Chains A and B, each alone.
Chain A
Amino acid sequence: MWETIIIVGLVVIFVGFIVGRAIYKRIKKQPSGECACCAGKGDKLVERYRKSNK
């Protein structure tokens, strides 16, 4: 029985860590490791620039 608890516990911690990390990065607006994140930044830059020139 204790093996089950340990293994299930570890798996839950692992899944929780992955999900938690993703949520944390999203809230803190940190790069998520996906290219999309940096791409978005460059786009915002252009947008801001266009706006400031209107």
Chain B
Amino acid sequence: MKRFALVGNPNSGKTTLFNTLTGSTARVGNWPGVTVDKKDGVYKKLEEKIIVVDLPGIYSLSPYTSEEVISRNYILDEKPDCIINIVDATNLERNLYLSTQLLEIDIPVVVALNMIDVVNKYGDKINAEVLNKILKVPVIAISALKQENIEVLMQEALIVSREPRKAFTVLEKSTITHLIKDVATAFKGLEVDNPLFHAIKLAEEDELEVANHPKLLPIVTEFKNTFENEDFGTDFEALVADARYKYINKHLSPALVRKNLLNHELSTSDKIDKVLTHKWFGIPLFLLILFLMFVLVFSEDLFLLGAFGIVDENFVSFAGTPFEGLFYNGGINSPGVILFNFVDSLSTLLYNWLDVALSGLPEVAHGLLIEGGLAGLLAVLSFIPQILTLFFLFSFLEDTGYMARVAFILDRAFRKFGVSGRAILPMVMGFGCSVPATINTRTLATENEKIKTIRVIPFFSCGAKLPILTAIAGGLVAHFGIGNVDVITFSMYLIGMLTAIVAIIAMNHTVMRGPVPPFIMELPTYHIPQLKSLLVHLWEKLKHFVIKAFTIILASTFVIYFISHFSWTFSFLADADMGDSILASIGKILLPIFTPLGFGSQLSTWGWVFVVAAITGLIAKENVIATFGTLAITIASALSITVGDLDEQGITAVGLMIQATNITIPGLIGFIVFNMTTIPCFAAVATAKAELPKGKFLTTILFWLGTSYIVSSLIYLVGTYWWTIFIFAGVTIGIIFLIRDINIRKDRRKLA
């Protein structure tokens, strides 16, 4: 089978084309660098099947970022049968810069002039035939989004892939042609593939090339000694880059007719930008958008009608009717909560029905299926609507191109913490899921920035941690009658973010000292996200979540039920004797460790459940509430507490746990914070291991454990004994001075 590689600038529509070609559901975003790994799929509409490889978006074939290395490596080593070079027609100059480099490789190339529909809409004209003459390869105008001309493109690619292509360089008439020819001849003598490409890279003194062929370097050095260019001296890197752009500019004018040549004229994108990145309103607007998103997902009082006293519980009551889930104490629920209530009512019905239907079974079997599997499973599944709504909103923001602007307006503030504004995307993605967020850190410029970002990503509480937040916040409100669920949930998110900031600052001054990474980034034009791509993405997420619920999570709930109802001698224990189970004994051993965090030895009999829940959370965070769901019901019957309606299971379970253990409010908050900031789920840990440089993985695990332990103890202790705040403040100031002192000494030693 032939292999065609898609190569192009970030954000040039490569992934959209890839999706169109392969019908795949790969991720598309309006942020430079969303594709950070290569993906492949199959195109079936030609006479033979074609493997299409989507490479990460790159601006150049220089070796400075891992995306560039992946693409360059793939093209040179794996030698695809054809390169389909996607060029954003609305931004020809810079896109063709990469094309001029691709043409220097002996592989057939077809240029796909993408977004031609947008160009035509603005009244501009691009002459593909003229471009064809300049580049000496076929140029096909397409629209990946509207699926125009795609088949023509692929047909052309198949035709050119049958004949070898001779490399061609736009530097033919430049002042260093002579040098390039000499080096290329030398490469040919060495029987190296793609001599022209390597010759030019060596002339530029490209790091990888110099390391690879040190023997040929003297040719370049010798040439340099006899060469002096009035503009560039012997700076060949600048000279080559300049020659490429000059060539493009010179030949582009006959090919491109711009109607609105006044390029400073405000486009729609600029107008939107004027507001969203405004000097004063930019940052407050971002915070407002974040807040609105959380209200849309979590609020039980969408328009704040109840909060302002416009309506109250006497206004209208739908209790007992099918509309019950729409309203809460007079306020209208947000879409997230309405969906949650809906799914929750359904799962309660299912639970009660199955509970009765299977009541004839012996105790072990009944317990295993209903209290073990089903209760845990439903506790997890009922949070799907809220997780998906949140995920949808974040994807929407990302696809519009707004997140790149957020990086722009927040860079200054982020720099103080030693990361660039670019790090905001992986961090915000972390609210959805840590795994893609961690993978996305590849777009960051330096290793230090990457490590710092990966370490704090789990503190941006992911979708799977949401059930812990809402269930415990709900339990707090229901049981202690304090505060408001929205406020507690939102402030937990804030605590997570605050922890991230403090942790980054701490790392900057201790283990991760170094210069601030650069920030040079393209700002893509705004566009309305494609609903189709958003929904496809959402569907993928849903599938992933459901599959996970029915495999890993279901299996863990069975295992938990088993080890919580059997003793070490493998005899079945009734609910009341669960304290003698395998699980309980493990939990009890570990219990004292968690005493400073508020859920250790100070709790009564059932205290070990919190410890066990936190441990199961290391497999998947959904397990925390699932464990409560599994254990709380049995505990309730053991303590002969009547379980009210099983509505909002997670919350009921937490309520039962509070009653059974006498845990305090600071203890509960400590528990949430511990789960939020400790080692993330299994999948996220594995991703972090893959992305972190060697030797940084173990320290990262220790970092997560340490941070969560310190932060939750702090919250519990200060919450319980307020005066301890002075001790903590004193210790913190002491540590700050100590670090400062060490750093000053280190710097002095460096200077000496």
Residues of A within 8 A of B (CB): 1, 3-4, 7-8, 11, 14-15, 18-19, 33-43, 45-46, 49-50, 53-54
Contacts and interface: CB of A to CB of B under 8 A. Distances in A.
Contact of B369 (A7, A15, A43, A53): A7
Interface string B542-568: 000001000110110011000000000
Max chain A Cβ within 10 angstroms of own Cβ: one of B212, B362, B559: B362
A14 B558 CA distance: 10
B211 interface: yes
Nearest to B544: A33
Nearest to B212: A53
Contacts of A18: 551-552, 555
Nearest to B681: A34
Contact of A15 (B70, B361, B559, B690): B559
14 contacts: A4-B365, A7-B368, A11-B368, A14-B555, A14-B558, A33-B547, A34-B687, A36-B435, A36-B683, A36-B687, A37-B686, A42-B36, A42-B37, A46-B73
Interface of B: 36-38, 66, 69-70, 73, 208, 211-212, 361-362, 364-365, 368-369, 373, 435-436, 438-439, 547, 551-552, 554-555, 558-559, 683-684, 686-687, 689-691
A24 B260 CA distance: 61
Contacts of A19: 555
A14 B690 CA distance: 29
Nearest to A47: B694
Given A34-B435, A36-B690, A39-B691, 13 more contacts: A3-B361, A11-B373, A33-B547, A35-B687, A36-B435, A36-B689, A39-B37, A39-B690, A40-B689, A45-B70, A49-B69, A49-B73, A54-B211
A4 B554 CA distance: 19
B362 A53 contact: no
Contact of B558 (A11, A35, A42, A53): A11
B558 A15 contact: yes
Contacts of B686: 34, 36-37, 40
Contacts of B211: 53-54
A37 B682 CA distance: 12
Contacts of A3: 361-362, 365
Contacts of A43: 66, 690-691
Given A3-B361, A14-B555, A45-B70, A35 B38 contact: no
Contacts of B558: 11, 14-15
Given A14-B555, A18-B551, A46 B70 contact: yes
A19 B682 CA distance: 14
A35 B435 contact: yes
A39 B361 contact: no
A54 B214 CA distance: 11
A1 B572 CA distance: 14
Minimum-distance CB pairs A-B, first 6 = A40-B690, A36-B687, A36-B686, A7-B365, A42-B37, A18-B555
Contacts of A4: 361-362, 364-365
B107 to A, nearest CB: 18
A39 B687 contact: yes
Contacts of B555: 14-15, 18-19
A4 B73 CA distance: 58
Contacts of B547: 33
Contact of B365 (A8, A14, A40, A54): A8
A53 B70 contact: no
Contacts of B554: 14
- Among A7, A38, A42, A50, max chain B CB count under 10 A is at A42
Contacts of A14: 554-555, 558
B721 to A, nearest CB: 42
A27 B212 CA distance: 35
Contacts of A37: 686, 690
A11 B368 CA distance: 8
B683 A34 contact: yes
Contacts of B689: 36, 40
Nearest to B37: A42
Nearest to B372: A11
B137 to A, nearest CB: 27
B698 to A, nearest CB: 17
Contact of A46 (B69, B365, B552): B69
A38 B136 CA distance: 37
A15 B684 CA distance: 22
Nearest to B555: A18
A43 B67 CA distance: 10
A53 B436 CA distance: 29
Contacts of B70: 42, 45-46
B435 A53 contact: no
Contacts of A1: 362
A42 B73 CA distance: 11
Contacts of A42: 36-38, 66, 70
A33 B544 CA distance: 9
A20 B687 CA distance: 21
B114 to A, nearest CB: 25
A43 B552 CA distance: 26
A2 B558 CA distance: 19
A14 B555 CA distance: 7
A39 to B, nearest CB: 5
Counting chain A CB atoms within 10 Å of each CB, the highest count among B361, B364, B690 belongs to: B690
A15 B687 CA distance: 24
Contacts of B373: 11
A5 to B, nearest CB: 9
B224 to A, nearest CB: 23
Given A14-B555, A39-B37, A45-B73, A53 B208 contact: yes
Contacts of B439: 35, 39
B369 A35 contact: no
B361 A7 contact: yes
Nearest to B209: A53
B287 to A, nearest CB: 30
A14 B373 CA distance: 12
A53 B70 CA distance: 14
A29 B551 CA distance: 20
A34 B438 CA distance: 13
Contacts of B365: 3-4, 7-8
B355 to A, nearest CB: 15
A5 B310 CA distance: 59
B73 A8 contact: no
B129 to A, nearest CB: 38
A51 to B, nearest CB: 11
B354 to A, nearest CB: 13
Contacts of B690: 36-37, 39-40, 43
A43 to B, nearest CB: 6
